[in-house]
Structure 1
Amino acid sequence: MNNKKILNTEAQSLSNASRIKYFDLVIESGKGSTLTDINGKKYIDLLASASATNTGHSHPHVVEAITHQAQKIVQYTPAYFANEPAAKLSNRLTQLAPMDGPVKLAWGNSGSDANDALIKFARGYTGRPNVVSFTGAYHGSTYGSMSASAVSLNMSRKMGPLMDGFYKVPFPSPWYQRSYETKDQFIERMFDEFKLPFETYLPADEVAVILVEPIQGDGGIAKAPTKYLEKVYQFAHKHGILFAVDEVNQGMGRTGKWWSIQNFPGIKPDLMSVGKSLASGMPLSAVIGKQKIMDSLSAPANVYTTAGNPVTTAASLATLDVIEDEHLLQRSYDLGLKAKAFFDKMQQKYDFVGDVRMYGLDGGIDIINPENKKADSDIATKIIYRMFELGVVMITVRGNILRFQPPLVITNAELKQAFDVIKQAMQDEANGKIAFNAKIGWSAD
């Protein structure tokens, strides 16, 4: 069977809500930063399974750990009994947490339920009901995490009412800065907008937690200004509000540091959620927090039949080994500089390339209309479709932003090859050679 036949067969039974449409691609295998489809065509992967395979596809050490553990026992619910890999991992992860004082964690299966758990513990510890998050945020698809999200209308359309007690404030994405504003003026205006709910209708002493992606993922690979996040952090602590960070997409070495919050010196969260690359894409997540918060609830407030099972935690232990032994934090930083230099050149050459943001191997590249300089989803879509034809997988977020998140193990040769393809795709767009006008991706909402 080929890609289209398999997709046609699947379409008879798969809900439309279950996949964001991009390309007709059926993945058969993967190795490192290379994917192979069911037809045998190879692609360089610049998505890393939505930043869930930072150690690359089928890394030998991770595969060996999964295989070895599966031969002993695949699953026995950690809701009742312990297993050795999870016990080892819990200690290793809490030591890595960017927090002061004793730290504990609770397991989950995905980033979504890690954020649900984060909300539970925040409410349990503070005795307060309300949650503040940011526009542009993607925290997951369960009702709790979805209620905290604000990145796509299809995450709320026809499913309301969402959970009560959730409030959104504007995220200070760079495209909201006005032409006449200095950076400091922009920060002050956005912080004034952050405070407005607290000054008008939302009592600060009734807010349990402020939840933020320090660098938004699906919201556009955009970093909050450091001074802005410091102001929010100080506001939270002044009012007894917990400060929590979502590290599901941006953690595990993605930005050249273990956690994206480490790009903001001096800010230490009370809680954080981790998932995706925690176990190299295996279904494992965690909420990590200060001990006094994590001990505020009792079982079975946050137990799951499979969360923290022997196979996924063994995979996670191996994942941590790979990141440390192969120096992937430094590799992400170094290759990120190369990527930034490349996309800066593309910005100088092509008038449809706007702002370039790169934090390690973690980039958002704005595609704009050359005439009015506004976001242009049509041009961005044509570029990624042409890249796909040429053997490189990249998607867009917010419709017009190229999402650059390759596995951290990508080789220099693969990176150069990917750059050559991107350059060709952009040149083909400049020459008007790309004939593609379908609505795909997040822009298809």
Structure 2
Amino acid sequence: MMLKRIMRVNARQGVRLLSSQNVVEMPPCDYKPPPYKGPTYQDNRQIRKDFLSPVMVPHFTNPLLIHAGHMQWLFDHTGRRYLDLFGGIVTVSLGHCHPKVVAAATEQMNKLWHTTHIYMHPKIHEYAELLTSKLPEHLKVVYFVNSGSEANDLAMMMARLYTGSFDIITFRNSYHGASPYTAGLTAHGTWKYNFANGFGIHHAMNPDPYRGIWGGYRDSPVQSLRAGESEVQDGVCLSSEKYLAQLEEIMMYSLPKGKLAAFFAESIQGVGGAVQYPLGYLKKAFELVKANGGVCISDEVQTGFGRTGEHFWGFEGHGVKPDIVTMAKGIGNGFPLAAVVTTKEISDTLKNALHFNTFGGNPLASAVGISVLEELENENIQQRCQDIGTYFLRTLAELRDEFEIIGDVRGKGLMIGAEMVKDPVTRSPLSPEAMMTIWDLCKDQGVILGRGGYYGNVFRIKPPMCITKEDVDFTINVLRNVLHKVNH
């Protein structure tokens, strides 16, 4: 269902709801969830309040009680269906309860759940060989862990042991985990607490083509409206050189000369709001890191496994070869699984002391991981991300041209962000109250979006990678409907 197109909506006066109640028709789904038999909605809310950590704040003004899932769809306790465009925080890669992954897990559960790798079991060896075959030739040693934070913890330790240096650089606006160790890597005040962290870690200026002071062109089907503030020569955005000078200044003034341990970079920033870098920046940054004795670590926790479409790994889009790659989330389609892959030379440093992870690479996790890799290939998921993601980005860009409240649309494949603003000229972020209004209204019409960015004003669109063109059209029509319903 297409809704009537109107003039660009001015975003400068805040949000007021209109009375229109247009409802967009949802694409069909032949899956029927089983009846819900758990505690009542109110009992669940009370249990959460009484017994779960207060940090676990549910999304939306009226939180969802999710009961079942099937591919790109979630179902609440009443059986109502929602299009999941956040994928369990960029984690459900193939789809909720994917039948092939469920079958692989069930088969392994009936045989052997857990031993730890103090004994040999076939699945961890099969999986290690298959996973490393997806990476460049020099990355051949894998350590299995359970989460992205654990993976980045281990990568930090390996880099420091291998180089004999201590200092690490990450970007402002980055997110690399919330454990006490990785909290120092993360440069996002929303996720910081008042305890000692970040000793030896430095945060470089974020080379953001939309909010950064020099703008720039990025590797995306949709460019920032500020792209024209720079220019591209031989595939390199000239604003990159200015941001690189800021990175080099950290190495000149804040580190012992030539004694950098590591540089961490997400290929596209996830929690930070799908922020990309100017063309050519990351490749030149890696060269600068190498010249200062450091190893280059690519955080593929959100961008790996075909999500960016053009490549299987996000770093490939930058033309770089990292020394260490960390991965999690989509690696297990929602099953707790993560990994660090590196060179033999770097991995050899762990021979000097015992390193062990009780659950890392357990038989069940390995069976799930193998199934995910197989189905990514069988279902041509990477190409789907390229095709559907590009279509999604371009239709969102059309929506940006219609509504001033959408300041920027960016991303690659199905790693997408839409930044909402109060003023498109100053790029002042849309207020939390206005964001919540739009977020809730989209949910009420059957679309679940994520949120991110420092101001919480970026809608994060990172769905299960099985979504269809019809799902995209439905989402665009819901967004248009919702934005028509708010008077600015």
Q: Same fold (TM over 0.5)?
A: yes
TM-score normalised over the length of structure 2: 0.84
Query: What is the DSSP-based 3-state SS (H/G/I as helix, E as strand, rest coil) of the residue aligned with 1:82?
Result: coil
- Quote the residue 2:430 is aligned against: 376
SS in 1 for 2:303: coil
Pick from 38, 46, 55 the counterpart of residue 17 of structure 1.
55
Within 2, Cα distance between the matches of 1:425 and 1:2?
A: 30
Q: 1:281 to 1:299 in 2, by over 3 A?
A: farther
Closer, same or farther in 2 for the Cα pair 1:318/1:168, shift >3 Å?
A: same
Alignment CA distance shift 1:88-1:190 (3 Å): same
In the TM superposition, what is the alpha-carbon distance from 1:124 to its structure 2 partner?
1.4
Pick from 181, 192, 199 the counterpart of residue 156 of structure 1. 192
Task: Read off the aligned partner of 1:260 and give its amino acid letter.
Answer: G
Q: Which residue of 2 aligns with 1:65?
A: 104
Alignment of 1:43-442 (within 5 A): 43-78=82-117, 80-97=118-135, 99-101=136-138, 103-153=140-190, 155-158=191-194, 160-174=195-209, 175-178=211-214, 181-183=229-231, 184-256=237-309, 257-265=311-319, 267-298=320-351, 301-370=354-423, 372-378=426-432, 379-398=434-453, 399-429=456-486, 431=487
Task: Report the CA distance between 1:165 and its aligned residue.
Answer: 1.4
Moved more, 179-188 or 111-120: 179-188
Contact 2:90 2:462 in 1 (8 A): yes
Q: Partners of 2:264 and 2:328 in 1: how far apart?
A: 16
Q: CA deviation at 1:301?
A: 4.0
Root mean square deviation of aligned Cα: 1.8
Q: How many residues align?
A: 426
Per the TM alignment, residue 122 of structure 1 is displaced from its structure 2 partner at its CA by 0.7
1:241 and 1:417 map into 2 onto residues whose CA distance is: 46
C-alpha change, 1:228 and 1:111, in structure 2 (3 Å) is same
Structure 2 vs 1, CA of residues 102 and 365 (structure 1 numbering), >3 Å: closer, same or farther? Answer: closer
- Does the Cα contact within 8 Å between 1:177 and 1:186 map onto a contact in 2? no
| Bigger mean CA deviation after superposition, 350-359 or 194-203 | 194-203
* Deviation beyond 4 Å, 4+ runs, structure 1: 178-181
Give the superposition deviation at 1:195.
1.4
Contact 2:139-2:323 within 8 A present in 1 as well: no
Counterpart of 1:14, as a letter, is L
Distance 1:388 1:75, change over 3 A: same
Please give the secondary structure, in 2, of the residue aligned with 1:137: coil
Q: Distance in 2 between matches of 1:274 and 1:295?
A: 20
Partner of 2:188: helix, strand, or coil? coil
In the alignment, is the contact (CA less than 8 A) between 2:240 and 2:279 conserved in 1?
no
1:204: how far off?
Answer: 4.2
Structure 2 contact 83–446 (Cα < 8 Å) conserved: yes
Higher relative contact order (CA 8 A, sep 6+): 2
TM-score, normalised with respect to structure 1: 0.91
Residue 103 of structure 1: CA displacement?
1.5
Aligned-pair identity (%): 27
The answer to whether the 8 A contact 1:112-1:140 is kept is yes
